Amino acid sequence: MMKMNRLMGSAVVMSALVLTLSACQKQEGPAEKAGKEIDQASEKAAEQLKEAADKLGQQLEKAGEKMQDASKDKDR
């Protein structure tokens, strides 16, 4: 009987602890939400800039190759 009371008491304490900890969970406010949206937007913009830079680099490389080819043709 004593073990049962101790077990029930422990269960009640654990339940109260779980409820207390879950109630203390921090809720996001408008500033945190806005911050996350800004972070996501800046990450997306960074990706788009990287893609644009990659495309520009490829185009410059092609232009350089064409200039070299034209220079070789001129030297002949």
| 47 has a pLDDT exceeding 80 | yes
Long-range contacts of 60-66 (CB under 8 A, 24+ apart): none
Confidence of residue 44 (pLDDT cuts 50, 70, 90): very high
**Greatest CA separation for the chain:** 106
Nearest to 66 by CA among 58, 54, 34: 58
Q: For position 65, what pLDDT does the model report?
A: 92
Confidence of residue 23 (pLDDT cuts 50, 70, 90): low
Residue 29's φ and ψ, nearest 5 degrees, are -95, 180
For the entire predicted model, the pTM comes to: 0.52
Cα 72 to chain centroid, rounded: 48
Average pLDDT over the chain, rounded to an integer: 85
